[in-house]
């Protein structure tokens, strides 16, 4: 059953209960989850008669009665006494929060009993009616943490959405004999998704339930996973509250013998300690699996990019394990979290073959839609998009490079669809039209501000010449690092700048040719400013890689790269043509978390017009833009200001 189409209803109950908890108790976010877990276990273990014992007694509170009841029931089901102790410590909030154990005037009962009844009559009844077994505790956790601040930041916990869990279980092709490990199990979503997948395929429940292993360092997350599995009649002996990263991989490999590894590790923990970077978790999990085991991880796109701090982890993975492919998800998959998520799939303990073709898939269009304050919402389009993805992944359908790229990789590549994909289509006429419009607007403004001198060394417009159309012209692919002189602009400390009228300052702005203002060529210290020669194309490396042609010498902000032709002098015509071609090639490819850095600029590819001998046709480039200049000037001349 496609359970995530019902998540809107489950989310509605989560919103309502969250509001009720806020009104009647004002608990911490993690305490909310412990109360919800305790209530669901109480409903699971008891019947309506137990509810009648919750009378708001001041001697033995309702929370204490629930706590004692759960301790008795869990002790029958948990063989590990340490696990029982951890769970009951997490449930101490039932007894310790006075607000939920005091009869509320508006409810005429204690809030804890009210929460218990609401869950039973709404969420549990709904799930029973529709025979749902999805990770509804995960849905509740997401909803509650959406209103939180410090708890969420401290945990670094991001719950994997149900549709991503389902997709991953299909990509890995689970078998009834698999032993599944999730070492950062959170609410147990991967384990539950695996269980349901195998049950739907006819596997024996008794076999599967004993093959699910999960670790989590957070006692509350451990408690939620145990709760989730108990609600599904699963054995929880293999769920442990421990720090996966502190266990030797050899020990895990021998004790668990996992044939499948799933993981959504804590995000942004590596900023303070590189050993907690997401790639370290991935490397450790792969080392902890059996030979030939499948591994699927959900991590930020930054996990597999070039970084001096983590490159050796990526090299280790490449030398000891095989990357099967990477799927880039929609940036709003984790709604409200500023991270571009990807799914990476590996085969453990098989060194990556040099000639292996990996799949890099762009799955941003996943069929789900965004709704403000709600998040990603299911549509029927999601089913067909998922089916197409699985067919492409399994080699049943071909896909163009806008969806899937099959390529060999190197250890120092960035294992992302965006790294291997370039738009090598011939630019449309409107790409050049837009570039010229922006430049002439800038040009006109500078002239009106008495700075026509910026353009005095540019060649004249000349006369129009009819050219081959863009599509009739011959084009070829060029790598920027091999074709152009690329260097970082010389930077002048902005604190030493003196306002003046000598030199423009080029920044990372996307507007007005990246000009920020004009300054003296002499600094506060009396020394000359660092001047960059004009007649170059500049590219900002802070975000998406906006490029401009610079007609004049300039001083520069940080994060600016310059491009020059190797064997040809650039002017405003050839420079604008080149800038437009670069913009066309990288449109929507780079963003704040994946910047157009010098490393990526050197490797980026674009298409340019060429002569019959394959050399760049500079004359065509210049005349094409000259023709546009003449056309735009004619329009301006014909307009009566």
Rounded Cα gap, residues 264 and 182, in angstroms: 8
Q: Are strands 341-347 and 294-300 parallel, antiparallel or unpaired?
A: antiparallel
Q: Is the Cβ–Cβ distance between 107 and 56 less than 8 Å?
A: no
Rounded Cα gap, residues 641 and 634, in angstroms: 14
Structure tokens at 314: 């990526």
Rounded Cα gap, residues 340 and 364, in angstroms: 10
Dihedral angle, C-alpha 156, 162, 164, 168, nearest 10 °: 110
Give the sign of the dihedral formed by CA 307, CA 264, CA 334, CA 153: negative
Structure tokens at 427: 């630019």
Quick: pLDDT tens for 228-249. 888 888 889 999 999 999 999 9
Rounded Cα gap, residues 277 and 270, in angstroms: 4
**Packing angle between helix 136-146 and helix 29-45, nearest 10 degrees?**
160
Query: DSSP characters for 588-607?
Result: TT-BTTB---HHHHHH-EEE
Structure tokens at 215: 């670790």
Rounded Cα gap, residues 318 and 291, in angstroms: 15
Give the sign of the dihedral formed by CA 513, CA 302, CA 603, CA 472: negative
**Largest Cα–Cα distance in the chain?**
98
Structure tokens at 98: 């006075």
Rounded Cα gap, residues 26 and 575, in angstroms: 61
Q: Is the Cβ–Cβ distance between 225 and 241 less than 8 Å?
A: no
What's the confidence (pLDDT) of residue 139? 61
Q: Is the Cβ–Cβ distance between 218 and 155 less than 8 Å?
A: yes
Structure tokens at 374: 């709600």
What's the confidence (pLDDT) of residue 144? 54
Q: Is the Cβ–Cβ distance between 325 and 360 less than 8 Å?
A: yes
Rounded Cα gap, residues 40 and 37, in angstroms: 5
Q: Is the Cβ–Cβ distance between 624 and 577 less than 8 Å?
A: yes
Rounded Cα gap, residues 76 and 526, in angstroms: 82
- Answer yes or no: is pLDDT of 47 > 80: no
What's the confidence (pLDDT) of residue 410? 93
Quick: pLDDT tens for 309-356. 889 999 999 999 999 999 999 988 887 666 789 999 999 999 999 999
Q: Which H or E element spans position 434? A: helix 429-448
Hey, is 364 helix, strand or coil?
A: coil
Rounded Cα gap, residues 169 and 194, in angstroms: 6
Quick: pLDDT tens for 468-515. 999 999 999 999 999 999 999 999 999 999 999 999 999 999 999 999
Query: DSSP characters for 191-208?
Result: HHHHHHHHHHTT--HHHH
Q: Which residues in 217-321 belong to E strands, given as ranges?
A: 239-241, 260-263, 294-300
- Residue 406 phi, psi dihedral angles, 5° rounding: -100, 120
- Answer yes or no: is pLDDT of 255 > 90: yes
- Answer yes or no: is pLDDT of 149 > 60: no
Give the sign of the dihedral formed by CA 507, CA 509, CA 511, CA 516: negative
HEC states along 505-557?
Answer: EECCCCCHHHEEEEECCECCCCCECCCECCCEEEEECCCCCCEEEECCCEEEC
Distance of CA 580 to the CA centre of its chain: 28
Rg (Cα) of the chain, in Å, rounded? 30
Give the sign of the dihedral formed by CA 484, CA 490, CA 491, CA 492: negative
* Average pLDDT for 294-309: 91
Nearest Cα to Cα of residue 37 among 130, 123, 155: 123
- Answer yes or no: is pLDDT of 257 > 90: yes
Quick: pLDDT tens for 159-205. 788 889 989 999 998 998 999 999 999 888 899 889 888 888 877 77
* Average pLDDT for 51-74: 92
Distance of CA 247 to the CA centre of its chain: 28
Rounded Cα gap, residues 32 and 6, in angstroms: 23
Q: Which range, 52-56, 144-148, 626-630, has the best average confidence (pLDDT)?
A: 626-630
What's the confidence (pLDDT) of residue 269? 66
Q: Is the Cβ–Cβ distance between 389 and 327 less than 8 Å?
A: yes
């Amino acid at each position: 059953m496609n359970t995530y189409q019902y998540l809107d209803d489950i989310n509605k109950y989560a919103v309502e209960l969250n509001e009720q908890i806020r009104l009647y108790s004002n608990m911490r976010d993690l305490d909310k989850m412990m109360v919800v877990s305790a209530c669901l276990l109480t409903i699971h273990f008891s019947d309506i008669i137990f509810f009648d014992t919750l009378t708001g007694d001041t001697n033995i509170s309702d929370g204490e009665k629930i706590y004692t009841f759960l301790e008795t029931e869990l002790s029958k089901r948990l063989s590990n006494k340490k696990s029982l102790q951890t769970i009951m410590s997490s449930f101490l909030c039932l007894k310790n929060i006075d607000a939920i154990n005091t009869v509320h005037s508006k409810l005429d009962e204690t809030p804890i009993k009210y929460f218990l009844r609401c869950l039973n009559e709404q969420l549990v009844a709904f799930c029973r009616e529709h025979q749902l077994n999805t990770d509804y505790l995960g849905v509740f956790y997401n909803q509650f943490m959406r209103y939180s601040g410090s708890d969420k930041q401290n945990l670094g916990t991001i719950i994997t959405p149900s549709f991503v869990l389902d997709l991953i279980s299909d990509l890995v092709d689970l078998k009834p004999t698999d032993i599944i490990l999730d070492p950062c199990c959170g609410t147990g979503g991967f384990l539950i998704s695996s269980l349901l997948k195998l049950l739907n395929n006819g596997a024996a429940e008794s076999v599967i339930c004993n093959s699910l292993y999960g670790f989590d360092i957070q006692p509350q997350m451990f408690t939620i996973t145990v709760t989730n599995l108990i609600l599904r009649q699963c054995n929880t002996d293999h769920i442990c509250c421990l720090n996966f990263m502190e266990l030797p991989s050899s020990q895990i490999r021998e004790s668990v013998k996992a044939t499948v590894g799933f993981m959504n590790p804590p995000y942004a923990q590596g900023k303070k300690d590189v050993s907690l970077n997401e790639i370290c978790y991935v490397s450790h999990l792969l080392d902890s699996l059996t030979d030939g085991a499948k591994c699927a991880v959900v991590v930020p796109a930054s996990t597999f990019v070039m970084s001096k701090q983590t490159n050796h982890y990526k090299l280790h993975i490449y030398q000891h394990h095989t990357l099967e492919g990477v799927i880039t998800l929609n940036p709003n998959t984790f709604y409200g979290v500023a991270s571009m998520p990807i799914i990476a799939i590996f085969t453990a303990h098989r060194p990556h073959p040099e000639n292996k073709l990996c799949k890099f898939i762009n799955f941003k269009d996943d069929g789900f839609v965004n709704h403000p304050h709600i998040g990603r919402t299911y549509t029927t389009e999601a089913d067909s998009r998922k089916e197409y993805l699985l067919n492409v992944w399994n080699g049943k359908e071909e896909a163009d490079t806008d969806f899937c790229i099959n390529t060999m990789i190197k250890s120092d590549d960035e294992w992302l669809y965006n790294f291997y994909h370039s738009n090598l289509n011939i630019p449309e006429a409107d790409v050049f039209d837009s570039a010229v419009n922006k430049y002439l607007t800038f040009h006109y403004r500078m002239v009106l501000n008495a700075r026509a001198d910026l353009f005095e060394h540019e060649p004249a417009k000349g006369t129009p010449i009819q050219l081959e159309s863009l599509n009739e012209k011959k084009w070829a692919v060029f790598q920027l690092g091999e074709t152009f002189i690329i260097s970082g602009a010389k930077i002048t400390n902005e604190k030493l700048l003196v306002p003046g009228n000598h030199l423009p300052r080029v920044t990372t702005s996307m507007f007005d040719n990246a000009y920020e203002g004009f300054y003296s060529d002499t600094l506060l210290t009396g020394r000359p400013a660092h001047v960059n020669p004009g007649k170059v194309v500049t590219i900002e490396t802070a975000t998406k890689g906006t490029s401009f042609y610079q007609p004049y010498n300039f001083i520069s902000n940080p994060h600016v790269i310059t491009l020059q032709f190797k064997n040809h002098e650039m002017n405003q015509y050839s420079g604008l043509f080149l800038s437009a071609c670069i913009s066309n090639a990288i449109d929507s490819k780079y963003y704040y978390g994946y910047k157009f850095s010098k490393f990526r600029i050197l490797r980026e590819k674009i298409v340019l017009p060429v002569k019959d001998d394959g050399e760049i046709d500079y004359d065509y480039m210049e005349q094409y833009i000259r023709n546009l200049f003449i056309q735009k000037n004619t329009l301006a001349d014909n307009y009566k200001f």
